[in-house]
Structures are given as structure tokens and as C-alpha cells.
Amino acid sequence: GQTLYVADLAADALLALETSTGAVRARRALERGDRPGALRLSPDGKTLYAALWGRDRVLALAPATLETRRALPAADHPNDLLA
């Protein structure tokens, strides 16, 4: 099935949901105040990028597990990502 990635700003969390059932495939709790916003999947589907509005950085994540591969510095309050 397909996956829908969700940024939960209020809970400082990221989720990967199965679109056909709504089941949670993965959930990632972030640090308090990270304030995740924009999400973007790389064209090859191998990396999920998450803009952290509260930390001035972008995380590069493994889509299946939502584990951080690396953190990239960004300007103040990143709120969108373009591929």
C-alpha cells in the first residue's frame, strides 16, 4: 500500500500512515519545541525531509522508520520545502 506522512506540530511528532487502512506504520516523537511542519519525499523515495520550524533545521529521515539520517541547518523557522 501507499504511505502518507504526517507532521503533528502540536505533539512534536511525525507519523507514517497506511493510506488504505489509516494504520500507523511508524511514529517518531521529536524533541519538545521542534514544531515539525513541511514534509517532502525525495524523488527516488529514499529520503523524507522534515522542516523543523522550532529548531531552524531540516531532518533527512529514513521513510520506513522515520529515523534521522542527518540534520541540515536552515534559516529561521523553515516552513516549506521544494524538491
Ranges of the chain whose pLDDT falls below 50 = none
Check residue 77 and give its pLDDT. 86
Check residue 83 and give its pLDDT. 66
- Full-model pTM: 0.93
Check residue 78 and give its pLDDT. 87
Contact, 78 vs 56, CB < 8 A?
yes
Question: Rounded to the nearest 10 degrees, how much is the dihedral formed by the CA atoms of 56, 3, 43, 9?
Answer: -10
3-state helix, strand, coil in the chain (%, to 5): 0, 50, 50
